[in-house]
Amino acid sequence: MTNSSIKISDELLVSQMQAALQCESSEANTLFTVLYKRHEQRVRLYCYRMLSDGDLTRDIVQETFVRLYNTIAEGKAIQNVSGYIIRTARNLCFNHKRDSKHTVCVNEVEIALPVKSGFGHADHEQNELLEIIGIALDCLDDEYKEAFVLRYYSEMSYEEIGELTGTTANNAASRVFRAKEKLKNILSRYRIDIERMTDT
């Protein structure tokens, strides 16, 4: 096995980046780019589905990684980099939702929900489907919406969802189940089967 085939852990990347920053080496930016590429899509998926706003999503994703960079540059230890990133994004999303005086409706959906092959073959059909799903998600209470998004967009385990949201794995699983049931009721009018679109 060659060294190029070995994936360096996030925590080791952070340690190497901190060492590079102390030496004022440009390698720090290269290492940070690796972290960004590893986690940007998952953060973007989460933020977009929670906020339904492309511009705001970009702002929060940017702020999330700025905070990550600053934390690393300050020499602070990060035990779980992935958890730190999604937790930062989550806090920023909820701060915005708390301060916002209105609910943003979905007008367009840029992010695809993982779907099983054979469902929605054409791009046009897929786009229409995703728009309906986005609207349906916005009808859910935040705790159910977030649990669903973390499970199927961020691909987190129930244990990880529970840890992030301050509940148990069982409660996280229950929220995902209830979210699916609520979505099933909403989407049934469009003859969309949510069970076919998600992995249980």
pLDDT in tens, the chain (200 residues): 334 446 889 999 999 999 999 999 999 999 999 999 999 999 999 999 888 889 999 999 999 999 999 999 999 989 899 999 999 999 999 898 777 644 433 333 333 344 333 333 445 666 667 677 778 888 889 999 999 999 988 889 999 999 999 999 999 999 999 999 988 888 776 666 666 666 55
Domains, the chain, ordered by start: 9-102 (1.10.1740.10), 105-200 (1.10.10.10)
Predicted local distance difference test score (pLDDT) of residue 124: 60
What number of H helices and E strands is found in the chain? 9, 0
Please state, as a whole number, how many other Cβ atoms lie within 10 Å of the Cβ of residue 120: 18
pLDDT at 194: 65
Residue 25 corresponds to which amino acid? S
Q: Within its chain, how far is the Cα of 121 from the centroid? A: 25
The residues, any chain, with a CB within 8 Å of residue 86's CB and separated by 6 or more, are: 42, 43, 46, 150, 154, 156, 164
